[in-house]
Structure 1
Amino acid sequence: MKEGIQPDQLALLQKTSAQARKLIVETVHHAKAGHIGGPMSATDILVALYFDILNIKPEQPEWEDRDRFVLSKGHSAIALYSVLALRGYFPQEELATFDAIDSRLQAHPDMLALPGLDMSTGSLGQGISAAVGMALGAKLRGKSFYTYCMLGDGESQEGQVWEAADIAVRYSLDNLIVILDYNKLQQYGWSGKESERDRPVHDPQARWEAFGWNVISIDGHDPEQIISACQQAKRHVGSPTLIIAHTVKGKGVSFMENNYLWHSRIPTDKELEWALQEIGKGV
């Protein structure tokens, strides 16, 4: 699974993920709005994408030949904004405007407000359809860019997701790479033991393979595995690829991990202090 990522690059990605998680909890605390659990499970994937995998130019966010990225689970926008800020798309100080009525950083991504966003998302299930359209458009225009889409596992209960999955195979969209943030815990969760909880989507590998997708399963918090899986997906020919990224909701803060209450809870001042102490060990 590992394809030669250098130790210094690995260390940089891990440090950047810690910085992004710090920005996530600080921003949500400041805005008194937003989500934490899902953004924290997605952070390592987003960092790997924007700091290693995607062919992009932050100084030219509208560059025609850039790789596209669609955050289908749009309620995790604060994770994307934090990573975009660290990557240089806009000043980090602007995160303080998150969710304000006149901010470019709305609670869900608005491509008309913020350069660097390839799709406005928030209505669950719709983002992957847009990604399919982008990938199909690239094929029809003879473009070589890839389209990446992050999908939530709770979001996968939407029928539109499976309609898009079917169409992507029909048109042999091997330039489409979907990453499933498989944290196995949606908004309201279940109060039983971990082994007793019902998962939002059962056996995603079998389901997506049944539609004809190439499927790769990884640890979604391991930068080496994330990068390697995307490299494998780009080499695959003839069908789209789904990467099942096994993640932990609330990753990086012990009292938030695997706790559905942190899907959209706002940390108190004391909880923010505790969270930053834990995250700070990785910065």
Structure 2
Amino acid sequence: MKKKLALGLALILACGTLAGCGGSSDSSEGSSEGSGDGSVTAKVIDIDLTSEEYAFGVDKNQPELLDQVNGFIAKIQEDGTFDEICDKYFGGGEPEAVESAELDSSKDQLVVATNAAFEPFEYTKGDQYYGIDMEIAALLAEELGQELVIQNMDFDAVCLSVGQQKCDIAMAGLTINEEREEYVTFSDPYYQASQRLVVRSDDSAFDDCEDADAVAAKLGELESSDKIGVQQGTTGQYYVEGDEEWGFDGLPAECVPYKSGSLAVQDLLNGNIQYVIIDAAPAAAITEAINEMQ
């Protein structure tokens, strides 16, 4: 079931034209292609640079909650609920707002740690939360008979807050890795993810690439003066900086961390960095939203 769902989502997530890797182009100069008024836009290179699994990070001292979460993941995947939620964000459906109660230790509450700057998994509009993870959180709290409390924080603090028992569970598009397992126990995976490269639309440097190795080879030709933006604490940062645990050799370019992927893409369009590497689904959502504003 998971493999079929992952394949379907991967096809839905594909955006823009198939890009590749041949000619050289300075991504910090010129205007975008396909923009009638000459404004600068961005595009996602439609090649997965990594293969990852998202899971929820549960408080190590709550094994019963872990069992409940795993059972709930299996349930919503088997009965089609997970597909229905994803369709709201990938298939033209209507996302539903999720409200958070105030933290109150006298009440039976499910306290969720997140970083609501990761559309389409978690983001805000006004005082309300939206996203795949947030809708799952609301249904999970309902299933457990608890009141939902969402704690929005920097991504780096999400797993730490659970490890310090300030929150019950981390739901923030978390890729499973050993470093985070120091603070949380991961649930069963619920989503197949990857990293993708975002470039300016007038950048043709990757137009002949057909796979991840070709993209990586081209990125390996960058200079130390080149800059690649990432969301701080995410797999993209490990990919650029290099990490033995993840199996990433790193790139010669400077890694520039941002609080969110949208800030990185905006700085790309401002000409301050050459590329952005972030998760595939947020890359698609962010570029679409920013391009519409150009």
- Provide TM-score, normalisation by structure 2: 0.31
More strand by share: 2
More helix by share: 1
